[in-house]
Amino acid sequence: MLVKTEGPRSGMRGHRQLTALVTVTVGGTATFAGLCVWNGNENFYRDYVMPFTKRLDPETSHQLAVFAMKHCLIKKQHKNDPESLATKLWNLSFSNPIGLAAGFDKQAEGMQGLHRTGFGFVEIGSVTPEPQEGNDKPRVFRLSEDNAIINRYGFNSEGHEVVYNRVKDEGEKKDRAVIGVNLGKNKMSSDATQDYVAGVNKFGKIADYLVINVSSPNTPGLRGLQKKAELEHLISNVLEARNALNVPKLPPLLLKIAPDLSEEEKKDIANVVLKNNCRVDGLIVSNTTISRPESLKGDSKDEIGGLSGEPLKDISTKCIRDIYRLTNGQIPIIGVGGVASGQDAFEKILAGASLVQLYTSFAFQGPPVVRRIKRELDEILRLNGYTNVSEAVGRESRK
Ligand SMILES: Cc1cc2nc3c(=O)[nH]c(=O)nc-3n(C[C@H](O)[C@H](O)[C@H](O)COP(=O)(O)O)c2cc1C
Ligand SMILES: *[C@@H]1O[C@H](CO)[C@@H](O)[C@H](O)[C@H]1NC(C)=O
Ligand SMILES: *[C@@H]1O[C@H](CO)[C@@H](O)[C@H](O)[C@H]1NC(C)=O
Ligand SMILES: *[C@@H]1O[C@H](CO)[C@@H](O)[C@H](O)[C@H]1NC(C)=O
Ligand SMILES: CC(=O)N[C@H]1CO[C@H](CO)[C@@H](O)[C@@H]1O
């Protein structure tokens, strides 16, 4: 038996019933039924659902969560997001600034459930032109003591065609989240630019925004100037493809960066994206880190891969602050890395983020984390004298 049998402290009848279901047929469909219930009760998730999923291997647990988002009648939040959280950017309206980061819904299966969970926007992908398997398993590791994950999925993707059809269907719905598509390159591809251009052409008509990455730090053999030229080549070509799209509204193009960049590299990137022909519409800061902070305790801390979650939090906030200053606040930033509370989100916003994303805290805490962060952020904004998110953006960096 994997889950405790006694009813939740709150004593609500519905919960007790569900807990029983989960208990009786663990491993069967009833488990999904348990996961499917989104009644907004944080304790239920904390005490029953999350402890259960933590016993599964992390990739199974991830698949289960995506399954839940895909099939579940997640109860829609009836309460609208508070006005303080409404954010307008790139001519898109976000009911709140809390988004799901890339890598959770890689294949665009759970968009409706994720919307109902309360995310203001959802980033699909990374999606590669051709389907690919990714790395051998195991490739995801939970560092529970650290509230962190290490992953080396290696971009398992069902490919453009399959993901395109799913995003297109969702896009036609009226009640949906803002949807971004994170474009990847195939492992075997010799030309990253071509893969990203293919992504722009495929998804440019249906995505609300597009993302490409320059996340791989310290490419061996590439020195400063060379790197800068390569980056310029990449961005200018992808932007050109975006600008050539025959659509009523061109989708904003964002660049996602690693937190492991040297001061020099950050300066280079800032200088490049401020140039006319390389002027991206936004930056996502940041991807996972390849560094391993001293503080890590989890058994899996020496696994190869990108580290996310709490240990990444301050590293990525610093990176946001640096990039915001280096770009003079002229390019909107989506702040991501270790956000698990309203305070964490607020720190990212003060450092320069206009929107915030999360992944790892959602994996550890489940859907209730989204609602909690929104509630806390609304409160914190008010306590600090801000009427909305945009007023607080970069406030700390400007001082
Ligand atoms: C299991 C896993 C898979 C990820 N896959 C992708 C991906 O495919 N593309 C991408 O741009 N970022 C990916 N990321 C990075 C996240 O989008 C995010 O930048 C990072 O996890 C930091 O946020 P967090 O600390 O809230 O998790 C992945 C992260 C995790 C944990
Ligand atoms: C946020 O507040 C400012 C006034 O301080 C206002 O101009 C802006 O329209 C508000 N933004 C949104 C999205 O409501
Ligand atoms: C922004 O949105 C408004 C209405 O939502 C529309 O009229 C306008 O053309 C849009 N602007 C751009 C640049 O897409
Ligand atoms: C993110 O970081 C990891 C680890 O450094 C890297 O393998 C990956 O290519 C980066 N990019 C994306 C889009 O995840
Ligand atoms: C998903 C994806 O395409 N990731 C790429 C990010 O950028 C680096 C190069 O900077 C590639 O090596 C990754 O494959």
pLDDT for 214 equals 80
pLDDT for 122 equals 98
Measured N-to-C along each axis, helices 29-36 and 13-24 cross at an angle, to the nearest 10 degrees, of 150
What total of structural domains would you count in the chain?
1
Measured N-to-C along each axis, helices 224-243 and 192-203 cross at an angle, to the nearest 10 degrees, of 20
* Structural domain includes residue 60: no
* Structural domain includes residue 323: yes
* Structural domain includes residue 17: no
* Structural domain includes residue 23: no
pLDDT for 78 equals 62
**Which residue is closest in CA terms to ligand 2's atom 14?**
86
pLDDT average per 10 residues of sequence, the chain (399 residues) = 35 39 39 51 70 79 84 69 98 97 96 93 97 95 95 96 97 94 94 95 98 68 72 96 96 96 92 96 97 96 97 98 98 98 98 98 91 97 98 84
Say which ligand is closest to the CA of 95: 2
**Which residue is closest in CA terms to ligand 5's atom 8?**
216
Residue numbers of the domain that contains 110: 79-392
Angle at 278 between CA 273 and CA 283, to 5 degrees: 45
* Structural domain includes residue 328: yes
Q: What is the CATH number of the domain that holds 219?
A: 3.20.20.70
Residue 216 annotated to the active site? yes
Number of the ligand 2 atom closest to the C-alpha atom of 387: 2
d(CA 381, CA 52): 35
* Structural domain includes residue 68: no
* Structural domain includes residue 284: yes
pLDDT for 20 equals 33
Does the Cβ of 308 fall within 6 Å of ligand 4?
no
What single-letter DSSP state applies at residue 28?
S
Say which ligand is closest to the CA of 269: 5
Contact 149, 142 (CB under 8 A): yes
Omega before 286 cis (within 30°)? yes
Does the Cβ of 219 fall within 6 Å of ligand 4?
no
* Structural domain includes residue 205: yes
